[in-house]
Amino acid sequence: MGVPAESRRRRPLEWDEEELSTAQKLARRECDWKGRLRRNGTHVREKLRNFGLQQEYDTHDPSGHEMLELPFLKKRSRIVEIVAANDLVFALAHSGVCVVFHRTTNKRVCYLNVHKDEVIRSLFYNKSCNAVITVSVYASENYSSLKCRSVPVEFIRRGQPDAGFPLFESESLKWPGFVEFDDVNGKVLTFSALDSIYKVFDLKNYNLLFEIRDSRVQEIKISPGIMLLIFERMANHVPLKILSIEDGTELKAFNHLLHRNKKIDFIEQFNEKLLVKQENENLQILDVLSGKVTEVNRTEFMTPSAFIFLYENQLFLTFRESTVGVWNFKGELVTSFEDHLLWHPDCNTNNIYINTGQDMIISYCRSGDGEHDRLRRAYGRGCKAPGSINVSNILTGKCLAKIRAPEGGSEADVRAQQALEEVTALFYDEERNEVLTGNKMGVVHVWTN
Backbone angles phi, psi at 310, to 5 degrees: -105, 90
Q: What is residue 374's predicted lDDT score, i.e. its pLDDT?
A: 56
Q: What is residue 438's predicted lDDT score, i.e. its pLDDT?
A: 97
Evaluated on CA atoms 151, 358, 289, 277, the torsion sign reads negative
Q: What is residue 98's predicted lDDT score, i.e. its pLDDT?
A: 95
Q: E strand or H helix at 227, and its extent?
A: strand 226-231
Q: What is residue 165's predicted lDDT score, i.e. its pLDDT?
A: 96
Q: What is residue 158's predicted lDDT score, i.e. its pLDDT?
A: 96
C-alpha 197/C-alpha 171 separation (Å) is 9
Q: How far is CA 407 from CA 296, 376, 389, in A?
A: 45, 11, 16
Q: What are the DSSP E strand ranges found in 245-300?
A: 250-257, 264-270, 273-278, 283-287, 293-296
C-alpha 162/C-alpha 344 separation (Å) is 35
3-class DSSP assignment, residue 157: helix
* Alpha helices by DSSP H, 48-116: none
Edge-to-edge strand list for the sheet holding 118-126: 118-126, 131-138, 147-152, 165-167
Backbone angles phi, psi at 128, to 5 degrees: -65, -25
Residue by residue, pLDDT tens for the chain (449 residues) are 334 333 333 333 333 333 344 344 334 444 444 444 445 556 666 777 788 999 999 998 877 666 666 677 778 899 999 999 999 999 999 999 999 999 999 999 999 999 989 999 999 999 999 999 999 999 999 999 999 999 999 999 999 999 999 999 999 999 999 999 999 999 999 999 889 999 999 999 999 999 999 999 999 999 999 999 999 999 899 999 999 999 999 999 999 999 998 999 999 999 889 999 999 999 999 999 888 999 999 999 999 999 899 988 999 999 998 999 999 999 999 988 989 999 988 777 788 999 999 999 999 999 765 555 555 555 554 456 789 999 999 999 999 999 998 888 899 999 999 999 999 999 999 999 999 999 999 999 999 98
C-alpha 358/C-alpha 222 separation (Å) is 18
For residues 349-366, one letter each, b for 16 or more C-beta atoms within 10 angstroms of the residue's C-beta and e for the rest, the string is: bbbbbbbebbbbbbbbbb
Is residue 384 exposed (0-12), middle (13-18) or buried (19+ Cβ within 10 Å)?
exposed
Q: What is residue 383's predicted lDDT score, i.e. its pLDDT?
A: 54
The secondary structure of 373-386 as a DSSP string is: HHHHHHH-TTS---
Q: What is residue 47's predicted lDDT score, i.e. its pLDDT?
A: 78
- Asked if 322 and 345 touch (Cβ cutoff 8 Å), the reply is yes
Q: What is residue 22's predicted lDDT score, i.e. its pLDDT?
A: 37
3-class DSSP assignment, residue 43: helix
Evaluated on CA atoms 40, 43, 47, 48, the torsion sign reads positive
CB neighbour list of residue 351: distance below 8 Å, 6 or more residues apart: 343, 344, 363, 364, 423, 424, 425, 426
